[in-house]
Amino acid sequence: MSFVKSTAFKYIPILVFAVIIADYFFAIASLGSVAEVLRQFAVVISNIALGLGVISLLRIHGRNVQRRLEGRWQYSIVTIITFVTVFILGTINANGAQYTWAFNHVYTTLQQTMYASTGFFIVSSAYRAFRARNIDAALLLIAGCIVVFTNAPIGEVIWSGFPVIGDWLLGPGQLPGYRVLMLIAGFGTIVYAYRVITGNERGFFGGE
């Protein structure tokens, strides 16, 4: 296994990278076919990762229950029972009434609740952060207020200048900064690709 990890696994990323990159830059029919197959492999691997996730989840939560991990094993039981129930319902009939009910009345409701709670946390974060302690913070505060009023119709009612300034801030005002950040993110991704193909990125080998 060590030989496989150190040799074969090292050269597979290089090979895949070479084919995909070459397909992007060069118009070679045979290369295109190979690249297609590799892309389909990528999709298949993503699907396998879903199954891997299920196995890992059940294994870890099963172990929590088995060891009666304090403060957690009860929730692990709930996780396992919920998973098995929905899995069986979905396998029997993914469009069935019971499965749809579980989706609509449990999953949907909980998801929306958790996402909605974000609004409260944003306000409490802003109450703490939007304080004019110094000139930079004051500018941030003013810009923040203008953008808030730009987004809300009441802003235009209060003052017609809010949308004008706000749209400028959201457009030319912040575009240069955002473009630079996106450019840098792109450079970072290229570095990561280089590290993968040169075998310096060992992260997905389990750290070995």
Partner 1 sequence: MQKKKNNEMILKDGRIVAFVLLFGSFVLYYLFTRMMEQGKPFKIRTLAPLEALPEAVGRCAEMGKPIFYMPGIGSSLSLSSGAYILAGITILGRLAHFAAKAGVKLRLFTVTIDAMPLIQETIKTAYAVEGKVEEYSDDNIELIANQSSLVSRYLGAVQRESPAAACLIGYLAYESVVLAEAGNVVGAMQISGTVNLYQIPFLVASTDYTLIMEELFAAAAAVSGDAGAVGPIAAEDVIKFVSLGIMILGMVLAPLGITFLVDLLGL
Partner 2 sequence: MANQTIFDRLDKLDRRIYYWLIVIVIAWPLVSPIGLPITVKPSSRALYDGLTAVQEGDVVLIDIFMSVSTWPECMGGLVVETNTLIDRGARLVYLGNSVDVSRSWERLNELVPRLGTLEYGTDVVFLGYYTGADAAASQMAVDMSSIFPADHFGTPIDDLPLMSDANSASDYAMVLFTAEGEVKWIQQWGEPYGVPVAGMGIAMKGSALAPYLASGDIFGLAVGVRGAAELEKLAGMPAAATTTMDAISSTHLLFVILIVPANLPIIYNKIKGGS
List residues near partner 2 by CB under 8 A.
32, 36, 39-40, 42-43, 46-47, 49-50, 94, 100, 103-104, 107-108, 111-112, 114-116, 119-120, 123-124, 126-128, 130-133, 141, 145, 148-149, 151-157, 163, 167, 170-171, 174-175, 178-179, 182
Radius of gyration of the chain measured on its C-alpha atoms: 26
Nearer to partner 1, 72 or 90 (CB): 72
d(CA 31, CA 22): 8
Contact between 60 and 69 (Cβ < 8 Å): no
CA distances from 162 to 127, 136, 143 (A): 21, 20, 10
88 binds partner 1 (CB under 8 A): no
Q: Are 70 and 52 in contact (CB under 8 A)?
A: no
Q: Is residue 30 within 8 Å of residue 19, measured between CB atoms? A: no
Q: Checking phi first, is residue 27 left (phi over 0); if not, alpha (psi -120 to 50) or beta?
A: beta
What is the CA angle 52-109-75, rounded to 5? 50
DSSP for residue 130? -
Q: Which does 100 bind (CB under 5 to 8 A by kind): partner 1, partner 2, none?
A: partner 2
Give me the least distance between CB of 173 and partner 2, in Å please.
Answer: 10
Residue number, 49 or 138, with CB nearest to partner 1: 49
Q: Binding of partner 1 at residue 122 (CB under 8 A)?
A: yes
Distance (Å) of CA 157 to CA 64, 151, 166: 57, 12, 14
Residue 7 binding target from partner 2, partner 1, none, CB below 5 to 8 Å by type: none
Q: Using the minimum distance from each CB to partner 1, give the nearer residue, 92 or 181.
A: 181
Minimum Å distance from CB 132 to partner 2?
A: 6
Q: Which residues bind partner 1 (CB under 8 A)?
A: 21, 24-28, 45-46, 49, 52-53, 56-57, 60-61, 69, 71-72, 79, 110-111, 114-115, 117-118, 121-122, 124-126, 128-129, 178, 181-185, 187-192, 194-195, 198, 200-201, 203-204, 206-208
